[in-house]
Amino acid sequence: MTEPGMTLQKWQDFVADYVCADDPIPESLWLRSKGIMIICNERGYVHGLFSYEIRADISIGSVLHVDNVKAVEIVARGHVLHCMREAMDRLLRLHGCAATYVAVDEPNLRMKSFFSDAGFVPRKIRYCAPASKP
C-alpha cells in the first residue's frame, strides 16, 4: 500500500539481504545484527514493518539503524508505530546499543511527529544523491 511501484521480485530481492536460513530458533531472530521486523494483527495482516542493522558509530559505539519504516494505520491510529517503537527498544537493549537512528521519508509528517514526540531528536543528517542516468 505504501509502495505502489513495488513488484514481487523487488520485494524478494530486498528481503533476501536480511534472510538467514540457519536461524533454528525464533527467539534467535532478535539477536541477529540485521533484519526486518513486521507488525501484524491477530489475523496475520501486516500493518507495518521496518528494516534494521546494528552498526558501529565512531562517536558512541553500537547503534541501531532503522530504515524503510512503513506503517498502515487503518483502524488504531498510533498503535502500529507504538508497536514498532517497542520492537526497536527491545533490539536496542538486546544488542547493547547506545542509540537508535531512525530514517523516515521527509514528506511523512505524521511519522516524523511520532518519533519527535517519543524523544527522538535530529542528530545526523543524511543526504541523498540519485545516481546519474547515462
CB–CB of 94/88 below 8 Å? no
Domain ranges of the chain: 8-118
Q: Quick one: 8-118 is in which CATH superfamily? A: Gcn5-related N-acetyltransferase (GNAT) (3.40.630.30)
Helix (H, G, I), strand (E, B) or coil at 74: coil
pLDDT tens-digit map of 102-120: 988 766 778 888 888 888 8
Instruction: Answer yes or no: pTM beyond 0.85.
Output: no
Grid cell digits, residue 10 = 523487488
- The pLDDT value given to residue 27: 61
For every residue of 30-55, which 3-state class applies, written as one string?
HHCCEEEEEEECCCCCEEEEEEEEEE
